[in-house]
């Protein structure tokens, strides 16, 4: 263990009144890994994702992203640190166009001509940058808000440049996931598979280090599933991502995950390479142990 883990979850617990959704879960993910997160329905997989993105505040334990504690942080701070996700039930901005969805994902990466982005060229601009730097201490981002509004209204060349670069990057991302030429369609008018791909592009737009995919192949036919697996692998290489994915299709888990974590009733019951986990008695018990569990399993392919 010479490499510092990108994600370190220690003793994470979440309690909803009487229900212990997560029970001191530990998980360590090294950078660059594709990690599978599996378990029967209601095992706490999505709850774990919600903790990792800051949507839930855990009732116990800690989450470290590259050594920085992120549990209890507001969601947009977590996102700024490089965590992005997709959703099990697709949640696009339905009434916005395809490219606008990606541009919203890129929100943090678009400079608005604020003090940070001011590139001083002449002496008075240098002076301006110094004053701006002093003003940054003002509460509530008043200055950055004013700069953003002023920029949008006046549209100086730097603003146009930033916006144009963002649009071009969004187009490249759309091309990477295979949505070229659909930029101006409304997100809600896309077919199901394309919506999943758009969610992926939107998540990538924030330049994440850790990408959380909640059932990326749900509802896809075998051909589409293979293509998606391919895409996930390729994106990991291209963008240097660490990926955690929740998945029910064993074929996908076996195919692309380097390690698998298994949750059941909020507890981690197994962890390791997919082949080992597949043979783990505790996992077989969780999935197949009783007749009831066997019936449940029938529903896994189509959540």
Partner 1 sequence: MPDLRLWLKVPPRRDVARRLLPAAAVVLFALVPAVPFFTDPWLRVFFLVGLYVVLGLGLNIVVGFAGLLDLGYVAFFAAGAYLMGILTSPQSPVDLRLEFWVILPLALLLGALVGLLLGLPVLPLRGDYLAIVTLGFGEIIRILLVNLRDITGGSQGLAAIEKPPVPGWQRIDEPWQWYYVILVTAVAVAFLSARLRDARIGRAWEAIREDEDVAAAMGIDTVKYKLLAFATGAAVGSVGGVLFASYIGFINPTSFTLQVSINVLAVVIIGGMGNTWGVVFGAFILIGVPELLQFRETSDVLERLGWLRTALDAPFAALDALAPFGVWRVPEPETWGRLVADKRFIIYGALLVAVMVARPGGLFPSRRRKLEFEAPPPSEVAEPSALAAGGSQ
Answer yes or no whether residue 66 interacts with partner 1 by CB under 8 A: no
CA distance 293 to 286: 7
- Between 108 and 279, name the residue whose CB sits nearer to partner 1: 108
Binding flags for partner 1, 29-48, as an x/- string (CB under 8 A):
--------------------
Question: With CB under 8 A as the contact rule, which of the stretches 18-26, 130-138, 230-238, 244-252 interacts with partner 1?
Answer: 230-238
- Between 181 and 240, name the residue whose CB sits nearer to partner 1: 181
Answer yes or no whether residue 258 interacts with partner 1 by CB under 8 A: no
Least Cβ distance, residue 34 to partner 1 (angstroms):
17
Whether the Cβ atoms of residue 35 and residue 258 lie closer than 8 Å to each other = yes
- Between 99 and 270, name the residue whose CB sits nearer to partner 1: 99
- Between 217 and 268, name the residue whose CB sits nearer to partner 1: 217
Residues 123-142 that bind partner 1 (CB under 8 A): 140-141
Binding flags for partner 1, 179-218, as an x/- string (CB under 8 A):
xxx-xx-x-------x--x----x---x------------
Answer yes or no whether residue 175 interacts with partner 1 by CB under 8 A: yes
Binding-site member from 75, 138, 276, 288 for partner 1 (CB under 8 A): 75
CA distance 139 to 158: 25
Binding-site member from 64, 96, 129, 250 for partner 1 (CB under 8 A): 96
Number of residues that bind partner 1 (CB under 8 A): 62
State the residues that interact with partner 1 by CB under 8 A.
53, 55, 74-76, 79-80, 84-85, 87, 91, 93-97, 99-100, 103-105, 107-108, 110, 112, 140-141, 145, 148-149, 151-153, 155, 160, 163-164, 167-168, 171-172, 175-181, 183-184, 186, 194, 197, 202, 206, 223-224, 227-228, 230-231, 234
């Amino acid at each position: 263990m010479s490499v510092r883990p990108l994600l370190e979850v220690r003793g994470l617990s979440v309690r909803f009144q009487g229900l212990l959704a997560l029970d001191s879960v530990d998980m360590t993910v090294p950078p660059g890994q594709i990690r599978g997160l599996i378990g029967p329905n209601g095992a706490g997989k999505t709850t774990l994702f919600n903790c990792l993105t800051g949507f839930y505040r855990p009732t116990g334990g800690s989450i470290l992203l590259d050594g920085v504690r992120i549990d209890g942080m507001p969601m947009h701070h977590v996102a700024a640190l490089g965590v992005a996700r997709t959703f099990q039930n697709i949640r696009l901005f339905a009434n916005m166009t395809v490219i606008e969805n990606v541009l919203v994902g890129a929100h943090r990466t678009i400079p608005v001509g604020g003090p940070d982005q001011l590139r001083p060229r002449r002496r008075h601009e240098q002076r301006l940058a110094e004053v701006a730097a002093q003003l940054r201490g003002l509460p509530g981002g008043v200055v950055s808000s004013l700069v953003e509004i002023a920029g949008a209204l006046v549209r100086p060349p730097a603003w146009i440049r930033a916006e144009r670069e963002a649009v071009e990057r969004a187009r490249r991302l759309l091309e990477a996931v295979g949505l070229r030429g659909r930029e101006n369609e409304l997100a809600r008018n896309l077919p199901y598979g394309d919506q999943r791909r758009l969610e992926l592009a939107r998540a990538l737009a924030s330049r994440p280090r850790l990408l959380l995919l909640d059932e990326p192949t749900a509802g896809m036919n075998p051909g589409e599933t293979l293509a998606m697996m391919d895409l996930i692998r390729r994106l990991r290489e291209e963008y240097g991502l660490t990926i955690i994915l929740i998945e029910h299709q064993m074929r996908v888990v076996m195919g692309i995950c380097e390690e698998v974590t298994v949750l059941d009733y909020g507890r981690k019951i197994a962890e390791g390479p997919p082949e080992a986990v597949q043979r783990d008695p505790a996992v077989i018990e969780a999935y197949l142990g009783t007749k009831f569990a066997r019936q449940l399993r029938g529903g896994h392919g189509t959540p």
